Every structure is written in structure tokens, then in C-alpha cells.
Chain A
Amino acid sequence: MSRRTLGSLLVGILLGLSTGVFLGWGPFPVEYKNSALSALAPHYQEEYTVMVAEGYRYDPEVNAALERLRPLGKENTIAYVIDLTERYISQSNIRAIPIMVALVEAIIGADNLPPVMQLYRPTLTATSPAPLAP
């Protein structure tokens, strides 16, 4: 192979390689079709979590709700639910807050509910009135 041919081949390979890398990572990235829930975009993961929390109102089984959240692949599902709920509270996501708080309350119990969530409990427990001063 002459030097001319070899040089042309190398130049062509470099051109093609850079074009291929540009296309494969840019406009035409690999498209996944058998993805797990853990690969969902964060927006969809959060929507899925809210759906599961809302479903808890229909199917009040805490373990089943946690089982449904497990495929999201979070290291600590309970901590993830609490974090998301606190974020919704900070963002004033009015629709999602009571739904998520109800699930958090079911998971960790009313007594362990963080103070920031107490206000959003769907069922506030009645407190006995303060004793009257003598």
C-alpha cells in the first residue's frame, strides 16, 4: 500500500470516527426500549412516586406501596419518599403534599413525622384542651 493510499485511509478514518462519535452521542444517541423504572427521567420517577402514594389511599397496605417503589432503585426508599415530600412542601406543591405526607405517616408513624409535615397530615388527631388556669 502506497503512502498516498495509507494517508488517505487514515484521514478518512479520522473524519468518519469523529462524525460517528458526534452522531452517536449527539443527534442520534442509542434509544433504550427495555428500560427499568430506575432509568426513568427524574420527573417521571417523582410522578410515579406520587401515583404510588395516591394509590395507597385505595390500597392501604404500606408494604405493598413500598414494594411498588422498590424498582425505582433508590438506596433507601423511605428516605427518598421523605426527601421528596419535604421538597414538595418547600415547593408548595399543593396537590402532592397531602398525598405524600399520608404515605410518609403510614411508613414511619404519626409520632415520627417531621414537624414540617405535621401541618399537612390528612387526619389531625384531636388534642385535649389545655387545663384552665385556677
Chain B
Amino acid sequence: MATSKHVRIGKGISWMALIVGAALGLAAGLVYTWEIDPVIERNTAPWQLSAAAREDYVVAVALSYAANQDLLLAVDRLRAAGPNRNIWEMVAEIACDRVKTGKTITNSDIRVVRALEQLYAPQGASGCADGLYPTPAPMTFATPEPVMSPTPTLIPPPSKTPTLPPPTPITAEDVRPTSTPAAGAYVLTRLQSFCDSDQSGVIEVRVYDRRGEGVPGVPVTVTWSGSERDSFFTGLKAEREAGYADFIMEAGRAYTVSLPGFVSSAPVVEAVPCTAQDGRQATTSYWVNFQERAN
């Protein structure tokens, strides 16, 4: 009896059909839950973000770091966005991509690139955005180095009291002729903003020699938006000083000003809105002075 019962149960099931059915059912179940009606996407972590969303996230991390300078917090946040990546390279790549795709139009865009660079550059990472938008130099006057100038010495008027022989006046032969400055011979001596509704958004460039006299004919190059540039010469405005040249900025852009052979970081100025003393709205203007370096 026991044998016949066992046989009857075995005869009631087709194991092959059961396995095939289970496989089909499992596949159908997974297709339904993964494709047709997946779990609603609610608890996404930063590492699951798309490239564009991750860029937004990393930009926010960089801006936050630029404000609070909390590196550990920034590292934690970046690791959440790229747990299996070199986070500094990831930041450098994003900065590079933003420059390549032209996201450097507004002041905000430029601040973003700067913030990203502030984050990755000290950690040894590098990218194509390196140094493109350096942080502007602080608006302070650089103390110019004292230069000897051949001022004519007046012969003292005759007096009744005996005097020592007058000092030998400096003659023209003692003054070395001004030569064309060598490469890298200029230093930035002044970078200061001002707001004037009559002179809105002007970069006033002045180039001096080591004696403090204006130098005409020096080519000045202004660059903006990464690749846009314009060159002009000092001394073309007869009504102004010999070493003077100016450039009108477009509001909302950042510009770098450089001279040939000026090897330091070119000063960056931003055409940001300002309110002039007369209460009118204007765009910030700048005084940018260069002076020939005294050896």
C-alpha cells in the first residue's frame, strides 16, 4: 500500500513543468517589479545621481566649503556623491567640464569655478580649469618701491652766513636712459574698485616706469569669458596721462588685465553693479596700475 501511495503522489506532479513554471513566474515577477511597477524612487543617495545632478550637488558642496572652510564636512559630502572615486579628481573634472561647456558667463559661474578649484587644488588634483579664474587680489594699495628721480636742485640763494659748498646737482648724464622693460618687468601696484555713474564699468590702466612716469605704447591685454580678448595700447588718449589706457566692461562679466611679460597672476576684475555716490546705479570700475620693477 505504501508503495502505491508514493507512486500516486509522484504521478500527480510533473517536476519539469513545475520548474519551468517557477522560472517563468520568477522572471515575470522580476519584470513586473523592476520595470512595470518598480519601487517608487524616494530614498536616492547622492551617489545614485545622474551626471548633471551630481554636478549640481558637487557645486553646492564647493560653495558651502568656500563659505565655511570645513574640509571634513566637504569630504563627507563628496564621498556620498562618489564613494568609489577619487573625489578631488571628480571635483576637478566638474570644474573643467563647466569651463569647456561655457558655464563661465556670469559672476556666479566664475565664483563656482573658483570654489571648485579652492576645493580640489590644495588636495593635489588638477584639471583644465586650473588658474583660469584666480581669486581677485585684495583691494589694497601696494606700496611702490622708492625710486630715485633726477629732480633739478636749485642753487641756494646767496647768504651772508658762510655755508658749506652746495651738493653737486644731478646732471642729465647721471640719469640712465629709459629702456624697454624686459619680460616680467612690471608689478601690480594698485588694484582698486570705484563706483562712478559717469564712468561706469571702466578699467583704467596706468603703466609707469620705475621713476613713476607714465609709459606710452605698452600693449595691454584684457581677457574675459575664457577665450575672448582685446588688446590696446597705453598713451593713445592725449588728454590723459602718457601711460593711460582704458577699457569698457560689460556688466556681469569678469576680466583679467595683463601686460606682456607680467608673470604674476593677472588681476581679475568683475563688472558688478554698484551704487554711485549720487545714488545712481552703475557698474563697478577699477584702477589697475602697473609699474616697472626696480632691480
From A16, A29, A30, A64, contact of B106 by CB (8 A): A64
Nearest CB of A to B209, in Å: 39
CA distance A10 to B13 in the complex (A): 11
Q: Which residues of A contact B67 (CB under 8 A)?
A: 54-58
* Identity of the chain B residue whose Cβ is nearest the Cβ of A2 in the assembled complex: B14
CA distance A109 to B253 in the complex (A): 26
Nearest CB of B to A73, in Å: 11
From B32, B35, B51, B53, contact of A71 by CB (8 A): B53
CA distance A121 to B43 in the complex (A): 33
B38 touching A20, Cβ below 8 Å: no
Cβ of B12 under 8 Å from chain A: yes
B33 touching A55, Cβ below 8 Å: no
CA distance A56 to B77 in the complex (A): 18
CA distance A44 to B46 in the complex (A): 7
Q: Which residues of A contact B46 (CB under 8 A)?
A: 40, 44
Nearest CB of A to B201, in Å: 18
Q: How many residues of B contact A (CB 8 A)?
A: 57
B49 touching A20, Cβ below 8 Å: no
Cβ of A111 under 8 Å from chain B: no
5 contacts between A and B (CB under 8 A): A8-B18, A19-B29, A35-B41, A37-B56, A51-B77
Where chain A touches its partner, the secondary structure class is helix
Stretch at the interface among B20-28, B188-196, B210-218, B287-295: B20-28
A12 touching B63, Cβ below 8 Å: no
Stretch at the interface among B107-115, B136-144, B229-237: B107-115
CA distance A68 to B45 in the complex (A): 18
CA distance A23 to B49 in the complex (A): 24
The 0/1 profile, CB within 8 Å of B marked 1, for residues 18-38 of chain A is 111111110001111111110
CA distance A56 to B112 in the complex (A): 11
Nearest CB of A to B174, in Å: 53
B18 touching A36, Cβ below 8 Å: no
Nearest CB of A to B267, in Å: 20
Q: Which residues of B contact A40 (CB under 8 A)?
A: 44-46, 49
- Contacts A35-B41, A51-B63: A12 and B19 contacting too (C-beta < 8 A)? yes
* Identity of the chain B residue whose Cβ is nearest the Cβ of A22 in the assembled complex: B29
Q: Which residues of A contact B25 (CB under 8 A)?
A: 12-20
From A12, A32, A61, contact of B21 by CB (8 A): A12
B33 touching A25, Cβ below 8 Å: yes
Nearest CB of B to A22, in Å: 8
